[in-house]
């Protein structure tokens, strides 16, 4: 089967599903309200299941060429004591979000993605000119709000995340846990370190919680993570020069099927999750490959969407729950 597909959202999920549908002969229109790929920086982990999805989309080798492969990681206490070490064959690839978006965009025909072109709610109602409408428009999805009115809004996890990059090579993947705070370091590429941190929002003052000044974010990080040693100290010393991204963490409660009428939700629009398992981008790409395969192989849109929902809703809801639980253990406490 093929036809006309509207993909709402030009991030990882939207670009990946567009790639899969184009390979199957679909006419695809991707609409993104931003004027370019929505790159918010940082490193992404691509685990084996997601790499297999990239292979099915014809992009696996290009990703491997640009990614850093790691098969070991360690969890520490702030005093330097190792709690857990993981190694072996079951590793993953680390790639910058910008590099991944470049790979996805380069794989699409010119003019297929319409940047700075938001859709309206009126374009999403049944009976339009598209055979299928795919909501890949993130946690605050217009498609979900319009077509799935029973869906609950995003919920706060009670923690705040910070992240950034710093020049300099780092070899290992490490994370430090201590007192409702975590600090992690990974390679971004051969010359850059990726770092991230999260704290219980109750550790912030009211002014710090609403602050937008990167200088205030830097002071919070030094107060909460000063003295943790090693790479943490190196990163804290360079915060003002290289910037801090801060955001409140949210996830999406379960709301039933990811499909309705001729519409399907993928990625964060369907199952936004806490970042603690590093699975958000991975599950978005798997969604895209599964949905594209179903639409390319089934005789009707209805059968394809049913197949997609049956394959993806259960596994992704379990990962949302596990990510939320790990967030509670590491930063907000089990009493929340």
Six-digit token string for 75: 């969890």
Length of the chain measured in residues? 336
pLDDT at 126: 73
pLDDT at 335: 47
Q: What is the pLDDT of residues 100-121, one digit of tens each?
A: 999 999 989 999 999 999 998 8
pLDDT at 47 over 50: yes
Span between the terminal Cα atoms of the chain, in Å = 47
Q: What is the pLDDT of residues 238-286, one digit of tens each?
A: 887 678 889 999 999 999 999 999 999 999 999 999 999 999 999 999 9
- Strand ranges (E), the chain: 4-8, 27-31, 43-46, 68-70, 73-76, 82-86, 92-96, 113-114, 132-135, 155-167, 174-177, 181-189, 192-200, 245-251, 259-260, 263-265
Rounded alpha-carbon distances, angstroms, from residue 195 to 96, 198, 233, 282: 12, 11, 12, 19
292 vs 287: CA distance, rounded Å: 8
- DSSP-based three-state secondary structure for 105: helix
- Torsion region of 58: left, alpha or beta (phi above 0 gives left; psi -120 to 50 gives alpha): left
The residue-averaged pLDDT of 125-146 equals 92
pLDDT at 89: 64
- DSSP-based three-state secondary structure for 254: coil
Record the pTM. Answer: 0.94
What mean pLDDT value characterizes the chain?
91
CA-closest candidate to residue 210, choices 224, 197, 222, 220: 220
CA-closest candidate to residue 244, choices 296, 289, 208, 294: 208
Instruction: Specify whether the CB–CB gap between 288 and 16 falls below 8 A.
Output: yes
87 vs 73: CA distance, rounded Å: 7
155 vs 272: CA distance, rounded Å: 10
pLDDT at 27: 96
pLDDT at 330 over 80: yes
Q: What is the pLDDT of residues 205-232, one digit of tens each?
A: 999 988 888 889 999 999 999 999 878 8
């Amino acid at each position: 089967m093929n036809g006309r597909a509207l993909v709402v959202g030009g991030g990882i999920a939207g670009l990946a599903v567009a790639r899969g549908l184009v390979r199957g002969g679909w006419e695809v229109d991707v609409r993104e309200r931003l004027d370019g790929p929505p790159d918010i920086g940082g490193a992404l982990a691509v685990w084996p299941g997601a790499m297999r999805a990239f292979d099915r989309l014809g992009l696996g080798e290009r990703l491997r060429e640009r990614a850093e492969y790691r098969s070991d990681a360690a969890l520490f206490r702030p005093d330097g004591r190792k709690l857990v070490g993981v190694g072996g064959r079951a590793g993953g690839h680390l790639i910058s979000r910008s590099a991944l978006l470049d790979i996805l965009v380069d794989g699409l025909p010119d003019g297929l993605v319409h940047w700075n072109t938001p859709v309206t709610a009126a374009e999403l109602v049944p009976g339009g000119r598209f055979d299928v409408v795919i909501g890949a428009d993130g946690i605050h999805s217009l498609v979900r709000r319009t077509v799935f009115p029973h869906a609950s809004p995003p919920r706060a996890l009670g923690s705040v995340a910070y992240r950034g990059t710093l020049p300099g090579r780092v070899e290992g993947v490490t994370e430090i846990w201590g007192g409702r705070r975590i600090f992690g370091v990974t390679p971004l590429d051969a010359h850059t370190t990726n770092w991230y941190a999260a704290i219980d929002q109750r550790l912030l003052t009211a002014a710090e919680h609403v602050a937008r000044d990167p200088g205030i974010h830097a002071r919070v990080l030094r107060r909460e993570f000063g003295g943790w040693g090693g790479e943490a100290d190196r990163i804290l010393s360079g915060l003002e020069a290289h910037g801090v991204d801060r955001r409140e963490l949210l996830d999406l409660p379960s709301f039933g099927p990811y499909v309705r009428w001729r519409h399907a939700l993928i990625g964060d629009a369907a199952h936004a999750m806490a970042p603690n398992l590093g699975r958000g981008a991975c599950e978005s790409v798997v969604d895209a490959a599964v949905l594209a395969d179903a639409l390319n192989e089934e005789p009707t849109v209805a059968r394809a969407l049913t197949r997609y929902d049956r394959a993806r809703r259960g596994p992704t809801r379990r990962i949302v729950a596990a990510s939320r639980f790990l967030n509670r253990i590491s930063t907000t406490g089990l009493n929340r």
